């Protein structure tokens, strides 16, 4: 009897090997991350997909069991992050709080934010309020991980304590730390969004697609995060399988941009495409107008971009939106010393102002866009003329889900 108890304590229920322990942990960690991205993020927070109860209920239970997260808490905090991104009200912006704070203390920031009940009233609407949520998940959030500890010990033996500890680190390290931290600090950007969101990796395999964070901030309500041919989103792949099995209904994905030839004047299709793809518009503007003009002006003036610090050179993409005041002043002075470039940045500023006219109605916004295109074509700057001709042809492709 004693030998049996010792064998169970040391080897677990199945006499498992290290390979089995590691494999089981990786599978459980992936289940947790897929539940976060599919259930909490794409379904609950952004309503990009509807899940069948056979999917949503197990995912909700699994998150309670392995993370102690309450659906309304997570959703409210995430929605506030989008609404107040990179401001003092953002629950976890490394631009405001510093990368070390978010990367290593993301859980502390999450716990602090969830105590603010005003967030729930403003941003937590539409989340589950059924009996299980009210009397189990929300009322006893710590019970789930406690039961998980006993389950891990029962299945894996003493080593189950280590498995449990690692499970408790999955979301704090990969989601609260890496995505909220590095996802607004380091990586590449497909879109010049109004925040600092980046794509950490083009292959969203480890964190279930959340690595494509810049894409998500450009199109928050899209169920698909991979938007370039070389990108892959495993969360989207799982959703496609669930949709095929009729266990999920995909509601929205990012619309694709089409360029119509020989459009003489911006029309309502142009306006709709420009507003939906406003971040792509600004990205195209830098690629088609700013970058070539920058090379020509610098070469013509006999100067070098190396006279600017690296941070300022990178800030040329967004005209120094995230620079400190003294750095912004230096960049503005450098741009002003290149008159052609200064004109191009002025047109960029005015194009952004067109997007802000939406509150005045579509007719006023369309008229402002037409005026901008007409002036760009009279500017005498070839890059501006070419961009205006391209911009007028923007339209949205029909999207098949």
Residues 206-243 pLDDT 10s: 999 999 999 999 999 999 999 999 999 999 999 999 99
Per-residue pLDDT at 174 exceeds 70: yes
- At 9 the pLDDT is 57
**Would you say residue 10 has pLDDT above 70?**
no
Position of tokens 């677990």? Answer: 12
The mean pLDDT of 167-183, rounded to a whole number, is 95
For residue 338, the model assigns a pLDDT of 84
User: Residue 6 above 60 pLDDT?
Assistant: no
Statement: residue 155 has pLDDT above 60: yes
Q: Using DSSP, state whether 13 is helix, strand or coil.
A: coil
Rounded to whole angstroms, the Cα distance separating 222 from 401 reads 11
Tens-digit pLDDT profile for residues 323-376: 888 989 988 988 888 888 999 999 999 999 998 877 778 889 999 999 999 999
Percent of the chain with pLDDT over 90: 77
- Cα–Cα dist 324/220, whole Å: 28
Mean pLDDT of 91-107: 93
Spell out a b/e string for 172-206, using b for 16 or more CB atoms within 10 Å of the CB, else e: bebbbbbbbbbbbbebebbbbbbbbbbbbbbbbeb
**What does the mean pLDDT of the chain come to?**
91
Of 354, 349, 347, 389, nearest to 368 by C-alpha is: 354
Is residue 105 within 8 A of residue 25, CB to CB? The reply is no
Side-chain half-sphere CA neighbours of 3 within 13 A: 0
Cα–Cα distance between 349 and 265 in angstroms, integer?
21
Distance, in Å, from the CA atom of 100 to the CA atom of 343, rounded to the nearest integer, reads: 39
């Amino acid at each position: 009897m004693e030998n049996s108890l010792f064998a169970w304590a040391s080897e677990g229920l199945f006499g498992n090997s290290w390979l089995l322990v590691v494999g089981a942990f990786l599978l459980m960690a992936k289940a947790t991350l897929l539940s976060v991205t599919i259930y909490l993020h794409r379904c609950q927070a952004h309503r990009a997909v509807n899940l069948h109860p056979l999917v949503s209920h197990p995912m909700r239970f699994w998150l309670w069991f392995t993370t102690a997260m309450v659906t309304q808490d997570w959703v409210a905090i995430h929605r506030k992050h989008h609404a107040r991104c990179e401001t003092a009200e953002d629950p976890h912006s490394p631009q405001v709080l510093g990368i070390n704070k978010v990367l290593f203390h993301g859980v502390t920031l999450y716990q602090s934010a969830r105590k603010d009940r005003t967030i729930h009233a403003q941003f937590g609407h539409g989340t589950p309020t059924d009996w299980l949520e009210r009397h189990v998940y929300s009322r006893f959030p710590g019970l789930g991980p406690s039961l998980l500890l006993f389950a891990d010990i029962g299945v894996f033996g003493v080593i189950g304590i280590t498995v449990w500890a690692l499970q408790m680190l999955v979301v704090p390290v990969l989601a609260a730390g890496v995505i909220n931290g590095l996802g607004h600090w380091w990586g590449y950007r497909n879109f010049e969004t109004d925040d600092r969101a980046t794509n950490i990796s083009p292959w969203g395999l480890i964190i279930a697609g959340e690595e494509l964070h810049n894409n998500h901030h450009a199109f928050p309500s899209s169920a698909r995060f991979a938007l370039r041919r070389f990108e892959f989103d495993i969360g989207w792949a799982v959703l496609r399988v669930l949709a095929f099995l009729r266990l999920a209904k995909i509601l929205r994905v990012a619309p694709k941009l089409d360029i119509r030839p020989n459009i003489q004047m911006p029309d309502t299709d142009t306006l709709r495409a420009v507003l939906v793809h406003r971040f792509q518009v600004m990205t195209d503007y830098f690629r088609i107008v700013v970058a070539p003009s920058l090379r020509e002006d610098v070469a013509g003036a006999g100067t070098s971009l190396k006279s600017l610090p690296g941070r300022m050179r990178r800030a040329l993409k967004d005209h120094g939106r995230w620079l400190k005041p003294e750095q912004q002043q230096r960049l503005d002075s450098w741009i002003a010393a290149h008159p052609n470039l200064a004109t191009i940045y002025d047109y960029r500023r005015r194009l952004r102002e067109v997007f802000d006219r939406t509150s005045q109605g579509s007719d006023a916004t369309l008229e402002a866009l037409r005026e901008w295109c007409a002036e760009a074509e009279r500017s005498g700057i070839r890059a501006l003329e070419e961009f205006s001709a391209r911009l007028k042809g923007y339209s949205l492709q029909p999207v098949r889900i």
